[in-house]
Structure formats: C-alpha cells, structure tokens
C-alpha cells in the first residue's frame, strides 16, 4: 500500500484549501493509499477522525534547538530543517512514497517544512498553488521575500500544480494547459432543472467571500439584475460594511453555511442562476490576474446558468475567451448581463444558458478527471 504524507493546514470540511486537500486525500484513500497528516500543534480535524487518518501534531520547538527568528531566512531554514526531522520521527521509520503540501497565500511555514522533508528523505513532493501570495501584499520588500522563498520551494517540488497558467507565469513557469489543475469540486448527483416558479421570483446567487473592493461593481450588477426582473442574493459572511451596503441596494442576504454541501443544497433549492464576480479592475484586487474562482468550479455541477463578470485580463476572463465560455461579461457590459438575466425567466432560454455550464461540469471541471491527473503524477515515473 503506497503511503502519502500531507504536511500543512489540517484537512477540513468548509471552504478554501483545507477542503480541496481533504477531497484529494479521501479519493486517494479510497484507491488504496495510506494517508498520514502532519499539522501544527493544537490542530484538530473532525474530517481526519472520520476518515481514520492519523493527525500528528508538530511540536515547533525543542529546548535544545537554536532560537528562532521568523523573519530571518537562515533562522527559518534551520528551524524547518529540524522540523522535517521531527516529521519523520512522528511518522515512524517507514519513508512515505509521496509528500503533499499546499502553498497558501496567508502562510508558507508548513509548506517549507514539507520542502525540507522531501529534500532530506528524497521523496517526490507535490505542491498545490492556488494563489500568488505576493499579490496580497502592497509591501515591496515583503513581495520580494515571498517570491524568493517560493521560487526555492517550487524548484524542489517534483510536481507543481498551478490553478491557472497565469499563476504559473507569475512564478516563471510556462506550462501547457494539461499541467493546470483546478481545485477539485465535490460534484453533485444531478443537475438542477428548470422550475415553473423561476419567473415569479428568480434569484441570482453570489455565494462566496465579498471583498470590500467588490462593492462598487456589485451595486451596479444588483441594479441591472433587478431592472431585468430578478434579485441578487449574497450568500456570504455578515459584516457591518455589508449591512450598510445591503440597506442601500436591491440585494438580499443569506448567512453562510457550515459546509459546502449545505451551500450546494441551498443553491439547488433556491437559485435560478449564479453570479461569479470580482472588482471592476485588476488594480483593486491584484490577485484576480492569476487566481481562478473556485466557486465557479464548485457550483457548475448544479447545472444552473452562471454569469461571470470580471475584467478581460483577469485569469477567469482570459479562460472564458480561450474556452469560448459565452456568459463572461466585462464590468461595463451591463446590457449583456441584462439579457442573460431576462433569459432566466423562460424555460427554453434558461436551458440554453445552462448548457455551457453543464459541459464544464462534465469535462474540464469533472472531479474524476482532476483526481486522475493528480494521482497519476504523485510518484516519479
């Protein structure tokens, strides 16, 4: 039985990278892999317990280790080298066949431990890269440090799975489309079909985190959708800023659910269409130049019509142009969004708008195909 060691944030249900890792590991376990998880001390995961995977806590300091200074590269290298040895002590004498980690935008310490462990024990390392961490900071010095450190990580990795070609290019890699790995979706048992109740009160859902930079464009989109006979619903975390925004605009709000399964169940029961949107410009949200909206990959399996509103030079805008996805609109194309919204009111046009979404679910964003590509590249050939 092959063994995979995952080092990083504990896999968990919910949103973000922990659930992506969980889905991949769950499928590996079902195909005969032994899964071991090493996370930071104090981490818990009900998901790991349910799956029967050992969740080992990494003790980050020993009394005899040299002092650690997080911002000093040499100190980090010493500490992560020591922690790589600690990982091996935790998992026992048997070396894993593969190591997996995820280079998160908010933290890269445990991924560095994974890099050290793979190097020390000569084990192939697979790394997920879903975002460019440097795009989330305005500090030029921090950008430089992040890029330098991450370039080293990527050189060590046996397999680098970028979410978009634009993201790979930001790290200096020119990769073919087959080496892009979308975040794996959960899938859904059957497409939602047209309901006669849709024309009475069609709801268009944006389900996901709302950044402050999105409010200006969402205001315009909400009015276009309302004037076209539908209502925009934001399924997102409530904040004081959001409360003020909701009071001023024709938008409804639904609080987020604990699990992605519950989100999909709600959308399947209530949504006539879906909206994926960013800010009006890349300057307002620099990471959209390279990141891909995982909500599109996740929610396309419902088979609902989906409008994308994003700058043409964003990663999703480029993807739509390259793949011929018809319902991706530039922020200024409100006339096209209005036509899309009106098409939700009648069964024939609703089904026409849903058709390209369903093709995505069966092809590019099929979880079986994504998992197969991932699993086939774990070991050195």
Domain residue ranges in the chain = 3-184+367-376, 203-362
Whether residue 152 has pLDDT greater than 90: no
Res. 192 pLDDT band, cuts 50 70 90: very high
Which H or E run contains 275?
A: strand 273-277
Q: How far apart are CA 23 and CA 262, in angstroms?
A: 16
Q: Do domains 3-184+367-376 and 203-362 have the same CATH topology?
A: yes
Q: Of the ranges 133-147, 179-193, 212-226, which one carries the lowest mean pLDDT score?
A: 133-147
pLDDT in tens, 254-302: 999 988 999 999 999 999 999 999 999 999 999 999 999 999 999 999 9
Q: Of the given ranges (5-14, 184-193, 356-365), which has the lowest mean pLDDT?
A: 5-14
Does the predicted TM-score (pTM) go above 0.75? yes
Identify the architecture of domain 203-362 in CATH: 3-Layer(aba) Sandwich (3.40)
pLDDT value at residue 123: 95
How many whole angstroms from its chain centre is CA 130? 6
- CATH tag for 3-184+367-376 (out of 3.40.50.2000, 3.20.20.70, 2.60.120.20, 3.40.50.2020): 3.40.50.2000
Q: What is the pLDDT of residues 236-255, one digit of tens each?
A: 999 999 999 999 999 999 99
Give alpha helix (H) positions in the chain.
17-30, 46-51, 73-91, 109-121, 140-156, 165-170, 215-227, 240-248, 260-270, 294-299, 315-323, 334-342, 347-362, 367-376
């Amino acid at each position: 039985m092959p063994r995979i060691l995952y080092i990083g944030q504990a896999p968990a249900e919910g949103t973000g990278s922990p659930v992506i890792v969980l889905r991949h590991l769950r499928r590996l376990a079902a195909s005969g892999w032994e899964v071991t998880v090493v996370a930071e001390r104090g981490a818990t995961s009900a998901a790991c317990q349910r799956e029967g995977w050992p969740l080992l806590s990494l003790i980050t300091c020993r009394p005899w280790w040299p002092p650690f200074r997080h911002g000093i590269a040499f100190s980090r290298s010493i500490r992560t080298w020591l922690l790589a040895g600690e990982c091996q002590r935790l998992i026992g004498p048997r070396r894993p066949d593969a190591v997996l980690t995820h280079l998160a935008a908010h933290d890269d310490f445990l991924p560095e431990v994974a890099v050290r462990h793979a190097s020390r024990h000569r084990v192939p390392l697979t790394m997920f890269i879903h975002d460019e961490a440097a795009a989330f900071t305005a500090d030029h010095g921090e950008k430089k440090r992040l890029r330098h450190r991450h370039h080293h990580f990527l050189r060590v990795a046996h397999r680098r799975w970028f979410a978009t070609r634009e993201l790979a290019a930001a790290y200096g890699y020119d990769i073919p489309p087959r080496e892009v790995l979308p975040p794996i979706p959960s899938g859904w048992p059957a497409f939602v079909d047209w309901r006669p109740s849709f024309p009475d009160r069609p709801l268009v859902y944006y389900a996901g985190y709302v950044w402050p930079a999105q409010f200006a464009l969402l205001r315009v989109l909400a009015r276009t959708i309302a004037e076209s006979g539908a209502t925009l619903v934001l399924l997102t975390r409530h904040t004081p800023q959001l409360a003020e925004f909701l009071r001023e605009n024709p938008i409804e709000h639904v609080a987020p659910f604990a699990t992605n399964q519950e989100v999909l169940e709600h959308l399947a029961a209530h949504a006539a269409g879906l909206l994926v949107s960013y800010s009006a410009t890349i300057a307002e949200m620099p990471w959209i130049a390279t990141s891909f909206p995982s909500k599109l990959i996740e929610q396309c399996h419902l088979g609902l019509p989906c409008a994308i509103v994003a700058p043409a030079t964003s990663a999703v805008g480029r993807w739509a142009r390259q793949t011929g996805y018809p319902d991706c609109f530039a922020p200024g194309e409100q006339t096209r969004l209005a036509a899309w919204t009106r098409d939700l009111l009648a069964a024939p046009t609703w089904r026409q708008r849903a058709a390209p979404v369903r093709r995505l679910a069966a092809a590019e964003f099929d979880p079986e195909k994504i998992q197969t590509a991932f699993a086939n590249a774990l070991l050195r050939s």
